[in-house]
Every structure is written in C-alpha cells, then in structure tokens.
C-alpha cells in the first residue's frame, strides 16, 4: 500500500460522511497517474503554491493601494488568512482539510492589479468591446488561469472539486462540496475583519466608530470577532450537509460589511485613488489593442504564456486579441502595471551633455 493509499484509507475512517474523500474525487480533465505519496487534493494545493500567479498575489492590492506601512494586507496575505480560517472550520467539522486549503489558496489567482477597482474597469472594458454578455469576474478568471494560462498554456490540471470551489467562492452559485462552501464564507469573514483592522491602522476610522450592537455580538477585537463567527459556524454545521451560520451572527457580520462600504470602500479618498488606477488599466488596454505588435513582444517577455509557441497571431480575430490583452493586464501586479504605464506614457528625462 502506498503512502497516498494510507492517507485515503485514513480519510474514510476519520472524516465526516459529508466530506469529499480524495479517493472519491471526480478527477481531472486530463487523466494522469496518481502520486505515490500525496492525495489528489494535496497535489492541487502544491501546484497552486508553486505557480507564478500565486507568487504575484504578494504585489496585488487588497484594499489599500501602495500603502506606506509594512503591516497592511495584500492579496497574498488575504489568501493566507482565508486559508487559515477555512482550515480551522473544515478540521473541526471533519471535512477534507486539504481540499479546503487548495480551494482557499487558489480562490484569487485571477485577481487583477489594484484590487476590485481593477476588476470593475476590466469588466466595463470587456462589455464595451464584446457586448453586455461579456465581462470580467475574478473568480471566472481564476478558473481561466488554472485551465488555460498557467504552465505556458497547459494549465494546472486541477481536480473538479478544487476548480468548482474556486469558481463559486463568490457569485450566485454555491460550490458543490462543503469544503468549497467553507472557503466561500471564510473569504467574507477574512476580508470584513482584516479590512476593519487595516482601516483603523490607516486612521480612516477608529474601533469606537464601529456599530456597538455588532461588537456586543461578535466581539470588540479582531481576534474575538473571528473566533465568535468560526465557533458559531462549527456549532451550527456539525453533522449537517450544509455550512450554516446563525441568523444573529450573519446579520452582525453583514452589518459590519455595510459599515465598510459606507466608511471605507465608497469614501471619496478611496474612490479618487481607484479612478486613477482605472485610468492606468484602461490606457494600457487601449494601447495594446491599437499596438498589437507591442503586446506580442511585451506578453512574451513577461506573462505566464509564451504565446509565440502556441498561437499564430495572424489568425486571431478581434475577440481573441481582446481576450489575450485582458488576460495579460489581469495578470499584472500593481507595480508592474505602474511601471508599464510609465514606460509607455510618461516622457523620460533627457540628460543634457554640456
């Protein structure tokens, strides 16, 4: 018996009947031999951690663009916090912790530079050029990264369960596994609480400004609030075929979310900075569309995919060109997008030789 098979047998013994067992995975789009030492979900987690898109998350905005301090969250630290909360819940419910971790670590692989401002402007651009039925959503882009962009266009070939959890961590459809649903709620627990923490650190509001009625229910500190919510989910979801949060805790959690929209996300200083970053993305997009030869050069040097090896650019129609440009811009880190914008649109200083 291999080490992987021992792990799979242990899952059958110890995990909940509602957990997704590694041995019962629906598999991969491209069948491949099993690993001797790792389950399929362990392999998915490892592939995500080692991919370029995961590493780039450390230079992508969570909420605060280019903050001066070292302690503000970025997209990578957000991902790690989602993973930690998800794993705590999954372990206590005897769900598959490794499946949960893989989904959590991969859920934002398709996120844009400059946070949701980048996502929103790319969504508008795609609708403008390709019609209202088109658009851009970071969860769908994460799946595109996994399937078509990473590993020079070969994709990571992840399991169905991990892809389903990543695709449906937000939006109208729920993940098909409880592990995916754990990540879905953990994403909200993480960002609502750490965005409060970052906003207080930035002096945008203080802890005393938070709604008292919600603090009485959830707790007065970052740590206490997360602990209260996690324990509530564990209590209400134990031995159930769904992930359940009590009405009281749910209402207070979303009341804090509403507070963040009113006092952080939609505040004038934040929106002013967002408009600047939106201009950067729009200018880059239009430049590459009008100068596609430059896009070919830049993307081959800097993207996950060496397009020259897999695409005949002479055969591309406008839709495909627009999609490739969107892929490239979505993959950029904040600083790469800024540097590229400066390279293309900001005049260089002349050195005058006397």
C-alpha 106/C-alpha 47 separation (Å) is: 10
C-alpha 191/C-alpha 140 separation (Å) is: 19
Give the model confidence (pLDDT) of 320-330 as tens digits.
999 999 999 99
pLDDT value, residue 245 = 98
Domain contains 14: yes
C-alpha closest to that of 60 among 78, 46, 45: 78
Let me know whether 239 and 125 are in one domain: yes
- Please calculate the CA angle 261-266-271 and round it to the nearest 5 degrees: 150
Let me know whether 251 and 302 are in one domain: no
- Please calculate the CA angle 19-24-25 and round it to the nearest 5 degrees: 95
Let me know whether 291 and 212 are in one domain: no
Domain contains 354: no
Domain contains 351: no
Residue ending a domain, among 241, 269, 297, is 269
Residue ending a domain, among 219, 253, 269, is 269
Domain contains 312: yes
Residue ending a domain, among 269, 291, 310, is 269
Domain contains 352: no
Let me know whether 263 and 325 are in one domain: no
Let me know whether 261 and 312 are in one domain: no
Q: What is the CATH number of the domain that holds 176?
A: 1.10.3210.10
In this prediction the pTM is 0.95
pLDDT value, residue 270 = 75
pLDDT value, residue 57 = 96
C-alpha 78/C-alpha 61 separation (Å) is: 10
Q: How many domains does the chain have?
A: 2
Domain contains 221: yes
Let me know whether 92 and 165 are in one domain: yes
Per-residue pLDDT of the chain (354 residues; tens, 9 = 90+): 999 999 999 999 999 999 999 999 999 999 999 999 999 999 999 999 999 999 999 999 988 877 777 889 999 999 999 999 999 999 999 999 999 999 999 999 999 999 999 999 999 999 999 999 999 999 999 999 999 999 888 999 999 999 999 999 999 999 999 999 999 999 999 999 999 999 999 999 999 999 999 999 999 999 999 999 999 999 999 999 999 999 999 999 999 999 999 999 888 777 788 899 999 999 999 999 999 989 988 887 666 655 555 566 666 788 999 999 999 999 999 999 999 999 999 987 766 676
Let me know whether 189 and 111 are in one domain: yes
C-alpha closest to that of 59 among 353, 331, 345, 272: 331
Q: What is the maximum span of the chain, computed from C-alpha positions, in angstroms?
A: 81
Let me know whether 43 and 62 are in one domain: yes
Let me know whether 304 and 247 are in one domain: no
Answer yes or no: are the C-beta atoms of 102 and 175 closer than 8 Å.
no
Q: Supply 352's token pair.
A: 């005058």
Let me know whether 335 and 216 are in one domain: no
Let me know whether 170 and 76 are in one domain: yes
Question: What value does the mean pLDDT of the chain take?
Answer: 93
Query: Would you call 257 helix, strand, or coil by DSSP?
Result: helix
Q: Supply 16's token pair.
A: 């909940």
Domain contains 350: no
> Residues of the chain with pLDDT > 90: what percent?
82
Let me know whether 241 and 258 are in one domain: yes
Give the model confidence (pLDDT) of 123-167 as tens digits.
999 999 999 999 999 999 999 999 999 988 899 999 999 999 999
pLDDT value, residue 307 = 59
Q: Which domain holds residue 214?
A: 3-269
Alpha-carbon distances, residue 68 vs 25, 191, 201 (angstroms): 45, 20, 11
Domain contains 291: yes
């Amino acid at each position: 018996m291999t080490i992987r098979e021992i792990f799979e047998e242990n899952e059958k013994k110890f995990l909940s009947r509602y957990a997704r067992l590694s041995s019962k995975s629906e598999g991969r789009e491209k069948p491949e031999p099993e690993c001797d030492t790792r389950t399929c979900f362990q392999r998915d987690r490892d592939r995500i951690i080692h991919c370029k898109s995961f590493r780039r998350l450390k230079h992508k905005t969570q909420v605060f663009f280019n903050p001066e301090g070292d302690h503000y969250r970025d997209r990578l630290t957000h991902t790690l916090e989602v993973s930690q909360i998800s794993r705590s819940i999954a372990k206590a419910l005897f769900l598959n912790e490794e499946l949960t971790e893989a989904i959590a670590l991969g859920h934002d692989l398709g996120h844009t530079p400059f946070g949701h401002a980048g996502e929103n402007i790319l969504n508008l651009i795609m609708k403008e050029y390709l019609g209202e039925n088109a658009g851009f959503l970071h969860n769908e882009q994460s799946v595109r990264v996994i399937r078509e962009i990473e590993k020079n266009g070969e994709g990571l070939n992840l399991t169905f369960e991990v892809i389903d959890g990543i695709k449906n961590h937000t939006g109208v459809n729920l993940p098909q596994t409880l592990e995916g649903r754990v990540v879905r709620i953990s994403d909200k627990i993480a960002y609502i609480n750490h965005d409060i923490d970052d906003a207080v650190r930035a002096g945008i509001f203080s802890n005393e400004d938070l709604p008292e009625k919600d603090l009485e229910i959830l707790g007065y500190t970052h740590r206490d609030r997360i602990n209260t919510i996690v324990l509530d989910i564990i209590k209400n979801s134990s031995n159930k075929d769904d992930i359940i949060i009590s009405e009281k805790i749910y209402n207070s959690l979303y009341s804090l979310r509403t507070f963040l929209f009113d006092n952080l996300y939609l505040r004038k200083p934040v929106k002013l900075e967002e408009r600047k970053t939106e201009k950067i993305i729009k200018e880059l997009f239009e430049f590459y569309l009008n100068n596609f030869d430059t896009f070919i050069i830049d993307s081959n040097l800097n993207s996950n995919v060496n397009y020259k090896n897999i695409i005949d650019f002479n055969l591309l129609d406008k839709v495909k060109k627009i999609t490739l440009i969107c892929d490239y811009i979505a993959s950029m880190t904040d600083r790469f997008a800024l540097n590229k914008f400066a390279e293309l649109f900001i005049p260089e200083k002349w050195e005058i030789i006397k």
